[in-house]
Copies of this chain bind each other. A is one copy, B any other.
Amino acid sequence: MANSKYEYVKSFEQPDTLLPNTWIVVRIDGRGFHKLSDRYAFKKPNDRRALDLMNAAAVEVMKDLPDLAIAYGVSDEYSFVFHPSCELFERRSAKLVTTIVSTFTAHYIYLWGTYFTENPLQPPYLPSFDGRAVVYPAMGNLRDYMSWRQVDCHINNLYNTTFWTMVQQGGMSNTDAERELQGTVSSDKNEILFTRFGINYNNEDEMYKKGSVIYRQYQLEDAKPASNPSIEQDEGSSVPEAISKSQQEKLKKLRRKAQVVVNHVDIIKDEFWERRPWILSGRPGKLPEA
């Protein structure tokens, strides 16, 4: 065909397959959300509508891609995690990342009006997201990644809650509040909130303090007694089990049947993971009895 003369350009595409047997984390971030949150009058320090919208869009991504093991969101970012056994799109990085970014964006835009009933979108200033993929070789690295994001959530939320309380309730200027908070540690901020404003930070909304975890729901298992988690290089052998195409389809169906839930809990300690072993094992659990 006449096209063959130009078709050589296809050979310039470089492969971007992610290393097999590693955890794939796709993190997306809102583009210019600082400015955007002003334009659409997001409430400070947390706008429930904005967070609910983030979660709703992420739930749709989880439903659309049954291969996803878990997702974690805070502020204008969301991390989506694929299990090491995942073979979706032959693990091509750009394909995985753009599919998630685009699906997320589509639902975010579509659902905007449901959450922001009074603030319609003002083109061309539409929200958008960028994203990237990172792979982690060991389960410990993945757990640490998740812990990193949740600790970050805590640190930022404590700061923002204190800062905005000082400004909104304390009548301070942004600059003054910022200056006073410089160099303070967590206990200082808790103290400011409590003594000056009678606010017990522990009573703040769990979603604000812990962020949002999304996963498929199966029957919870008992937590293990006093575990002694190894923080060493994995010792297990790791032949990726040969899973037949038909079995993969079966697993996919099982995953589609499970309910996708949003939760605001600690994912740093072992308990969360021990009671939901299907997340790290990559094998669906038992569906909860009706």
A residues lining the B interface (CB < 8 Å): 1-3, 5-17, 19-22, 28, 31, 60, 63-64, 84-85, 93-95, 97-99, 101-103, 105-110, 121, 123-124, 126-141, 143-145, 147-148, 151-152, 155, 229-241, 280-282
Cβ contact within 8 Å between B6 and A151: yes
Of the candidates B31, B109, B144, B280, the one whose C-beta lies within 8 Å of that of A6 is: B144
A151: chain B residues at CB < 8 Å are: 2-3, 6
Q: Report Cα–Cα, A101/B128, bound state, in Å.
A: 9
What is the chain B residue whose CB lies nearest that of A239?
B231
Query: A12-B135, A97-B98, A137-B21 are known contacts. Are A231 and B237 too (CB-CB below 8 A)?
Result: yes
Q: Report Cα–Cα, A128/B11, bound state, in Å.
A: 26
What is the chain B residue whose CB lies nearest that of A92?
B132
Q: Report Cα–Cα, A280/B148, bound state, in Å.
A: 28
Query: A94-B93, A106-B128 are known contacts. Are A141 and B12 too (CB-CB below 8 A)?
Result: yes
Chain A interface mostly: mixed
A1: chain B residues at CB < 8 Å are: 155
Cβ contact within 8 Å between A19 and B137: yes
Q: Report Cα–Cα, A60/B14, bound state, in Å.
A: 28
A5: chain B residues at CB < 8 Å are: 239
List 28 A-B pairs, Cβ < 8 Å. A12-B134, A12-B141, A14-B17, A14-B134, A16-B132, A19-B19, A31-B102, A60-B123, A63-B124, A64-B124, A84-B137, A99-B128, A102-B105, A102-B128, A102-B131, A107-B123, A137-B138, A137-B238, A138-B138, A138-B237, A139-B235, A139-B237, A141-B239, A143-B237, A231-B238, A231-B239, A234-B236, A235-B236
* A92 nearest CB across to chain B (Å): 8
Query: A19-B135, A135-B12 are known contacts. Are A84 and B144 too (CB-CB below 8 A)?
Result: no
A238: chain B residues at CB < 8 Å are: 137-141, 144, 231-234
What is the chain B residue whose CB lies nearest that of A21?
B137
* A64 nearest CB across to chain B (Å): 7
Q: Report Cα–Cα, A95/B98, bound state, in Å.
A: 10
Query: A103-B128, A130-B98, A130-B99 are known contacts. Are A12 and B19 too (CB-CB below 8 A)?
Result: yes
What is the chain B residue whose CB lies nearest that of A15?
B15
A134: chain B residues at CB < 8 Å are: 9, 12-14
Q: Report Cα–Cα, A28/B95, bound state, in Å.
A: 10
Q: Report Cα–Cα, A21/B19, bound state, in Å.
A: 13
Q: Report Cα–Cα, A130/B236, bound state, in Å.
A: 32
What is the chain B residue whose CB lies nearest that of A59?
B124
Of the candidates B9, B15, B105, B123, the one whose C-beta lies within 8 Å of that of A145 is: B9
